[in-house]
Amino acid sequence: MWSLTSDVEEYAAVAEPFLLGDPVRNTVALTVLANLRAGMPVKDPRFGWWTLDGEIRGAFFHTPPHPVGLATMPVEAVAPLVEALGGGLSVVVGPMELTSEVERLLGAPEQVVPERLYRLGTLALPDVPGHGRPALPADFPLLVSWYQAFGEEVSTGGDVDVADRVAQRLAARELFVWEAGGAPVSLAALSPAAGGVCRIGPVYTPPSCRRNGYGAAVTAYASHVGLAERCDEVVLFTDLNNPTSNAIYQSIGYEPVSDYAHLTYS
């Protein structure tokens, strides 16, 4: 049975212990929860947990304009969730076995972006010219332009104020750059630890600087900072349609965990 609420503290009290049972696979759900408790503004949120035989077995979250997020849950919980939400899953993201059930119930979406969750094993620092460093206030205009370019490339973002988001992440020391030839050439962001897990993303290298290893280098640098100072595990998501990025992340020590999908309906 699904229980729904718009109260983040009610949701946290019930669902957080369940989500912490697998903080790697539930990294997004836990990060969203941490951000909401830290004061992240949200309009008309919806949360829920799936109960079976008196135990919490699943959870979902929706913080518009972002997709409906499916955390760990049994496949049989998907149909009752779709019914409980009135079929209102115009954009949904979650583990592949769950999104496949959404497709079975709602039909083929307009767009499917297959993703893979990776967990860092043994970090291998690549030999790339330059050095990593935390992003600085002076980098702000460049970072905003890179965030905008990244959003245009992936085409899965909501109506987010990019400058505000960059300012928040910069102030929270979540942004890192790789510098070569005296100038930043690549960006990686690192989410705050949630359940002991930090998540890399986004990673962006402008087209003129690609194919030099900068993306791998800045990812490795941010991952090192995470493990050294902030968390026990580091994870990231990749687009399975991009074999280059998947190979790059594996080359620095990331290991596949499970597959996900991002579905967009009209």
Give yes or no: residues 49 and 162 share one domain: no
Looking at the 3D structure of the chain, how many domains does it have? 2
Spatial distance between the Cα atoms of 261 and 148, rounded to a whole number of angstroms: 23
Give yes or no: residues 90 and 145 share one domain: no
Structural domain of 192: 119-259
Asked if the structure places residue 264 within a domain, the reply is: no
Q: Is the pTM of this model over 0.75?
A: yes
> 31-40, 93-102, 125-134: which has the minimum mean pLDDT?
31-40
Q: Which of 108, 137, 167 is the last residue of a domain?
A: 108
Give yes or no: residues 103 and 208 share one domain: no
Give yes or no: residues 130 and 220 share one domain: yes
The number of helices, as runs of H, and strands, as runs of E, in the chain is 8, 12
Mind listing the pLDDT tens digit for each residue in 210-255?
999 999 999 999 999 999 999 999 999 999 999 988 999 999 999 9
Q: Residue 154's pLDDT is what?
A: 80
Give yes or no: residues 125 and 17 share one domain: no
Give yes or no: residues 226 and 97 share one domain: no
**Structure tokens belonging to residue 251:** 């080359």
Spatial distance between the Cα atoms of 55 and 215, rounded to a whole number of angstroms: 43
Give yes or no: residues 91 and 145 share one domain: no
Contact 216, 125 (CB under 8 A): no
Q: Residue 73's pLDDT is what?
A: 97
Asked if the structure places residue 138 within a domain, the reply is: yes
pLDDT reading at 158 higher than 70: no
Which segments of 181-253 are extended strands (E)?
Answer: 183-190, 197-204, 233-239
Give yes or no: residues 90 and 128 share one domain: no
* Lateral strand order in the sheet of 55-62: 2-5, 46-52, 55-62, 68-70, 91-95, 254-264, 111-120, 233-239, 197-204, 183-190, 175-180, 131-134
Per the DSSP assignment, residues forming a β-bridge with 114 are 261
Tell me what the mean pLDDT of segment 114-129 comes to.
97
Give yes or no: residues 93 and 176 share one domain: no
pLDDT reading at 157 higher than 70: no
Give yes or no: residues 158 and 48 share one domain: no
> 34-38, 165-169, 221-225: which has the minimum mean pLDDT?
34-38
Spatial distance between the Cα atoms of 59 and 19, rounded to a whole number of angstroms: 8
pLDDT reading at 107 higher than 70: yes
Give yes or no: residues 142 and 242 share one domain: yes
